[in-house]
Amino acid sequence: MTYTTLSPVVPLTKKVKSEKMPVRFFNVVSLFSGAGGLDLGLEMAGYSTRACVEIDPVFRETMRRNRPDWNPLDDFDGDVTCITSDLLLERAGLAKGQVDLLVGGPPCQSFSNMGNRKGVNDARGRLFRDYLRLVYEIRPLGIIFENVEGIKQHGVLDELQKELEAMGYKVKCETVIAADYGVPQKRKRVIVLGCLGVEPRFPKPTHSRFGDVPETKRWVTVGEAFKKITVQDLLRPDCLGMNHSLEMVNRMKMVPPGGNFHDLPKKHLPDCWKSGKHQGQDTFGRLKLNEPSITIRTSGYNPTKGRYIHPTENRGLNTLEMAALQSFPKDFVFVGNLKSVGVQIGNAVPPLLARAIGEAMKPCLVEARLMLH
């Protein structure tokens, strides 16, 4: 796909006039924003999110509850395929060439090992092309693109790099581990960075498994993350969790720290677990207090979906614990029911990881701005 031959979009009747717009360093336009984990981290690094595109209205309400100035768009119900660059720039109060960062992580279900793995044969798997379309039309100084490791298998990264380089961006792609940046979670994600005419830089890890790498601290553990949650916090209306049956609680009692469904006597296993064919090694597992957690997915409150049994209690994780393991600030409030909040947390870029990436991108953006002006 060549973006120089894109069909022209229909402009708004009211155009943004470039000469009237102030040039601001470190502003952000955000696509596929979810609950705003990536934007929160960039905010920590000194960026200002000017507009967000998110298709789920409940997720947009979460952003409005916490950061109304992020300006989540309700136009076209937040459908990125219908959003024009003119509209997005108008809402952001910016003109073409004045956006510092265009960021986002398109839906991962088409690429995830836990999803349908249809890749670009699924409509969601082709949404990265709308990301590219808006990069071409908006021409930001830099881009951040995030997704699951499974995206490596579908040719998407090659297409991304080819198209971005054709637009004048220098591109780097790496798989990062969130725990290396202070997140209490061993989450792996593919990050693509691009900058106009300037080589982008990835942040150096600030943490390592044992803290024995120079200039790093030891990985943050589940226990350290949970210590920050008070009894008062547990009374919050957005602290949600599953109601487990007595049978389920009794099963959890048999699982030791670090153990999983294999530790259950066969007579206590549901029929669907007895063969083990459809279960991963994390199914019905108990977290360890002295290690980071596994990847927090959208159903991180449900022990049957992974290693999501509380380290010391016989229950699944609650949403505040999930958010803590994703490094969300404790004062960030989620809107929605258990399933919706689980998706908002599980799909998010951990804010502390985003902060590190944002800090690393700053000198590249400054250099690119100076080159262009």
Q: Hey, how many other C-beta atoms are within 10 angstroms of the C-beta on 11? A: 11
User: For residues 51 and 101, what is the distance between their CA atoms, to the nearest angstrom?
Assistant: 11
Asked if 102 contacts 2 with a C-beta cutoff of 8 angstroms, the reply is no
**239 belongs to the catalytic site:** no
Long-range pairs, 77-82, Cβ under 8 A, ≥24: 78/53, 78/54, 79/55, 80/31, 80/32, 80/53, 80/55, 80/127, 80/130, 80/131, 80/134, 81/127, 81/130
Set 108, 173, 195, 364: catalytic member: 108
What SS3 string covers 55-67? CCHHHHHHHHHHC
Helices 128-138, 156-166: crossing angle, 10 deg rounding: 10
Q: What distance, in Å, lies between the first and last C-alpha atoms of the chain?
A: 30
Full DSSP string of 206-247: SEESSS-STT-EEPPPHHHHHTT--TTGGGSTT-------HH
Residues with catalytic annotation?
Answer: 108
